[in-house]
């Protein structure tokens, strides 16, 4: 099990976020992180497009401080085949 701690105190639009700790049961193997992935591109779509090279996709999230809602970040974790 891998524990991720994403520390994000301010966002580009000036709003603030609080850190989110996530526990993921992830497959072993080579991993990579990509940045700037459009928010309207869902994990399933990424996996469908890259299914020959990638076996698992997880988008990073943060909890917004003002309304306590979990939101997507443009950062995505990939597990390669």
27, 41, 45, 56 from 69: Cα distances, Å: 28, 19, 23, 25
What's this model's pTM, rounded to 2 decimal places? 0.62
Burial class of residue 26 in the structure, from the number of CB atoms within 10 Å of its CB (0-12 exposed, 13-18 middle, 19+ buried): middle
For residue 64, the model assigns a pLDDT of: 83
> What confidence tens digit (pLDDT) does each residue in 4-16 have?
444 445 555 655 5
> What class has domain 2-80?
alpha beta
* pLDDT over 90 percentage in the chain: 54
> What confidence tens digit (pLDDT) does each residue in 43-76 have?
999 999 999 999 999 999 998 888 889 999 999 9
Say whether pLDDT at 1 is over 50: no
Q: Are 81 and 54 in contact (CB under 8 A)?
A: yes
Q: Are 75 and 45 in contact (CB under 8 A)?
A: no
């Amino acid at each position: 099990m891998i524990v991720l701690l994403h520390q994000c105190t301010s966002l580009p639009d000036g709003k603030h976020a609080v850190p989110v700790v996530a526990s993921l049961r992830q497959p072993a193997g080579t991993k990579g992180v990509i940045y700037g992935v459009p928010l309207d591109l869902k994990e399933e779509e990424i996996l469908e497009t890259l299914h020959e090279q990638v076996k698992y996709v997880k988008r990073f999230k943060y909890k917004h401080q003002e309304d306590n809602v979990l939101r997507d970040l443009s950062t995505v974790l990939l597990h390669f085949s």
